[in-house]
Structure formats: structure tokens, C-alpha cells
Structure 1
Amino acid sequence: MQQITEAISNPKVKRAIELAIGPLLLFALWWIAFKGQLVNKDLLPSPVDTLRDTAASIAAGKMTGDFVHTIARVGYSTLIAVIAGVPIGIVLGAKAAIYRSVEFLVDFFRSTPATALFPLFLLLFGLGDFAKIAVAAFAAWLVIVFNVAYGVMNARQTRILAARSMGASSLRIFKDVIFYETLPQTFVGLRTAVSLALVVIIVAEMFIGATDGIGHRIIDAQISYSLTDMYGSILIAGAMGYGLNLMLLMIERSFIHWSGK
């Protein structure tokens, strides 16, 4: 008993237990709903069958192609959003008057559901991959612009004033003070943008003429009434989003160790 207590008190073991609680709770709720027939049994398969069939599909490589296509689209859209969004966010945040002049446009489109823009992007770019990537990139771009601009505008004035009092130029202040001050807020925007891009890409794969991707797999399984495949694909999509967010959090904690100090 003492050995078990010591093992549980180990920080790594304790952290592993904490991380396992969420998935186990989801499995337990799903099992209760299935066994208790709280949901029509024709609409909710067993979690055991779903996990078994999903594992078999992954092992056979049936999901690999769809996973790769979806993650690639999310990666392209996020990269476009970062390249186009960070410089514009810096420019807008550097001058409050400039930001206020375009604040309505940024907030208006940021508040507009990205899915409502599908018809517009279809007219502009057609049914190919570029339309899906473009609409996801646009949605992610708005989030990044807003967060970068907010980070620049709210950089700690005490550090900026200290740099100015030591005779630092505006370029030096931006490079050595403002840039690092805005990184935490930039990463907040990046994590939000990646999650939003994934949502938009999955929905686009469902309804905008896709022939591959996790979204297409979900809707295809729903049409063919392959429930374990449908629920398994949904779990894969959720795991994809969780994994991307976790990866960005790890990068943030590694490189922005001064955040909040």
C-alpha cells in the first residue's frame, strides 16, 4: 500500500493520472449512455466497438490519407494566416489611431461565422482545395491580426519607457522590448487560429466537394450508416485538435518562459 501511495505521489505519475481522467470520464459516460439505452441504440454504437474498429482502421492505414490531407490543409491555412496576419497586426497595434480606424472591419468579419463565407469563397476560388484553405486562412488571419495588435498595444509601458530613458531607438525598442512582450498574446491568437482553421476545414470537407479528409470521412460514414466509422472519425478530429493545441502549448512554454513575469 505504501509503495502504491509513493508511486501516486510521484509528479509524473500524478500528472499521467490527471491526464487520463478526461478520456476515462468520456468513455464512462458513453458506456452508460449505451448500456442504459439513454440514446437510441441504432444511433449510438458501443464505445468498445468504436475504439476497436477505429484502431483497426488506423492499423490498416485506411485513415492515414484522410488525416494527412486534413492536417495539411490546416497547416497551409495557418501558415498563410501567420505570414499575412503578424505584420498587419504589428502595424495596426503600433498606432492606436490606425487600429481604431479599421476596428469595425476587423471585429465585423471576426464576428461573422466563417461558414457563412463559404458561398463567397466558392465563387472566387471554385470547388478545389484552395477554396477550403482560403476560407480557413481568412478566419484564422482575423484572429491573429486581432491578438497581435492587442499584444502590441498592451505591451508593458514601464519596460518601453525604461528602454527610451536609456536612449534606445524606436527600432531597438520594438525589436528588444515590444516584440518579446507581444509573443504570449501572439501564441494565444495562434492557438485559437489553429483550432478555428481545423473547424472550418472539417466543415468544408463535409460540404464543399471534397473527396478526402476527416470531414469527408465523417459525412461519408454518416450517409452509409457506418456508425463506428463516423464516431471514430469524430474522435480522430477531436484528437487532432487537442494534439495541435498541446504542441503549440509546449512550444510556447519552451520559448516564452518569461510570460507573466
Structure 2
Amino acid sequence: MKKITLIGPIVFIILWAIISKLNIIDSFFLSNPVETFETLFLLIKSGEIIPDIIATLSRTLKAFIIAAIIGVPLGLFLGESDKIYESFEFVIDFFRSTPATALFPLFLLVFGIDDSSKIAVAAFGASLIIIFSTAYGVMNAKKSRILAAKIMGANKWQRFKHVIFWESLPETVIGLRHAISMSLIIIIVTEMFIGTNVGLGHRIIDSQYIYSIDSMYAAIIVTGILGYLLNYSLLFLERMYVHWAGK
């Protein structure tokens, strides 16, 4: 990690400490960073928060994998033909513009209140992002390279396999990065409000109910770190395997 990337977090913590010290926001609602990080250290040391991290991470990855398995092939298929994409454009944009959380009741009716409903609604929201990004990548593949492949005698499948797929990959990876963040967000929200006894979302809302503000902020920090690591892992893979993007 570059040293410059630490500037933002350090400035944030300093501002947090100043706001807390000057009591700009009542300490009942905003704990100071020292107490919060002490609580976080104790939660990690005791292992109390570890099951929550594992549960949230597991649900997020399951939702993301399902979304990728559904979203990438559908995006490739829809993006290959302007007519096909235009036929489904309204449906895609409609659901993409509708907050996945608004569909909680429907998913609860279909999947029940166990993990299935949490994973399903997160996978649904994430898959729409992947479908759109992948289709966009296919539709915006460089025409000159496609034409060159056609001139060299490549048939439609060969053009798709050797040119269009690789041209769409940068946009697909961007979609995957957004999708994994969306998966985590939806999972956290569902853990707050749909029956569960373990998970970071459950810990956040449970701490808020009992006014354990330090524990609530500690869980929020862990959630942010988890989201950053998930996003950075895909960014790392993107830099390794899609380093040629834009060249």
C-alpha cells in the first residue's frame, strides 16, 4: 500500500477526534475514535466478532458468485445484438433503477427468512450491474478489430471468442467490482432487518438497539474494511489480467 493512501484515513480519524473532543455531535450518538478502536480490538481479541465477519463474508461471496454466473453470460448474449438488447433494455433499466431493498417482501415470500432470501436479493441486485456493464462492453468493442478479424476470415463465433469477449472484459471487470460492493451492501441491510443471529449487519443494529455505540461503530469500521478488501482484491486481479485495457 502506498503511503499516500493513508492520508485520507488519518485525516478522517483526526477530524473524527476533533468533532468528538469539541462535542459538536453528542457523545451519545458519536463515540470517540480511541474508545471505538479499543472496543474493536477487544471484539477481535475475544473472537466475538469473528463469526459475524465470516457469516457476512460467506453470504456476500455466495451472492456475488451467483450474480457473476448469471450476469456475465446474459450480458454477453444481450450485448451481442442491438435488437435483443433493445428488447430487454426497459426491463433491465427498470429493475436496475429499483432499489433491491424494495423487493425484500417478494424475496421473503419466495425464499423465506433464512439465508436464501438474503443471498437471493443480493445476487439479484448485483447481477443487474454485471449484465449492464458486460453488455455495454460488448456493444462498445472496437469495430476496427472486429472488422480486421472478419477480413482475416474469422466466423461469427471466432470473432466473438477472440475479439469481442476480450474487448468487453474491462467493462465486465468494472461491473464485477461494483457488483461485489453492492452484494455486501445488500447483505448488511438484510442482516439488519431479516431474521438472523449472526452477521455484521445484525451486530450493527443490535448494538444500536442496546445503545452500545462503541460496538456499533466498531462493526461499521469492520464492514468498511471488508468492503475495501473485497473491492481491492478484484482491482488487483484486474491489474494482473486486464492490464492491457485501453491499449
| Structure 2 length-normalised TM | 0.98
- How much does 1:225 deviate? 1.0
- How much does 1:130 deviate? 0.1
Letter of the structure 1 residue corresponding to residue 66 of structure 2: I
**Structure 1 residue runs of 4+, over 2 Å off?**
none
Give the Cα separation in 1 of the matches to 2:30 and 2:127: 37
- How much does 1:42 deviate? 1.6
Give the Cα separation in 2 of the matches to 1:25 and 1:124: 46
Letter of the structure 2 residue corresponding to residue 250 of structure 1: F
1:162 alignment partner in structure 2: 148
Residue in structure 2 matching 1:85, options 71, 76, 96? 71
Give the Cα separation in 1 of the matches to 2:140 and 2:193: 40
Percent identity between the two aligned chains: 51
Give the Cα separation in 2 of the matches to 1:62 and 1:229: 11
2:116 alignment partner in structure 1: 130
Superposed CA deviations along residues 149-203 of structure 1, whole A, max 9, x for unmatched, are 1111110111000111111121111111111111100011001111111110000
1:213 aligns with 2:206: no
Letter of the structure 2 residue corresponding to residue 44 of structure 1: L
1:67 aligns with 2:53: yes
2:190 alignment partner in structure 1: 204
1:191 alignment partner in structure 2: 177
1:18 aligns with 2:4: yes
1:176 aligns with 2:153: no
Give the Cα separation in 1 of the matches to 2:2 and 2:135: 37
Residue in structure 1 matching 2:15, options 9, 18, 29? 29
Give the Cα separation in 2 of the matches to 1:109 and 1:220: 31
1:143 aligns with 2:92: no
- How much does 1:258 deviate? 0.6
- How much does 1:16 deviate? 2.8
Give the Cα separation in 1 of the matches to 2:31 and 2:71: 43
1:102 aligns with 2:85: no
Q: Greater Rg, structure 1 or structure 2?
A: 1
Counterparts of residues 108-123 of structure 1 (less than 5 Å): 108-123=94-109
Any gaps of 5 or more consecutive residues in structure 2? none
1:234 alignment partner in structure 2: 220
- Any idea what SS the aligned residue of 2:202 has? helix
- How much does 1:257 deviate? 1.1
Give the Cα separation in 2 of the matches to 1:79 and 1:44: 36
- Any idea what SS the aligned residue of 1:145 has? helix
1:46 aligns with 2:32: yes
Letter of the structure 1 residue corresponding to residue 206 of structure 2: D
| Structure 1 length-normalised TM | 0.93
- Any idea what SS the aligned residue of 2:198 has? coil
Letter of the structure 2 residue corresponding to residue 71 of structure 1: L
Alignment root-mean-square deviation, CA: 0.8
- How much does 1:17 deviate? 2.1
- Any idea what SS the aligned residue of 1:74 has? helix
Any gaps of 5 or more consecutive residues in structure 1? 1-14
Superposed CA deviations along residues 35-74 of structure 1, whole A, max 9, x for unmatched, are 0111001211110110111012112111110001001101
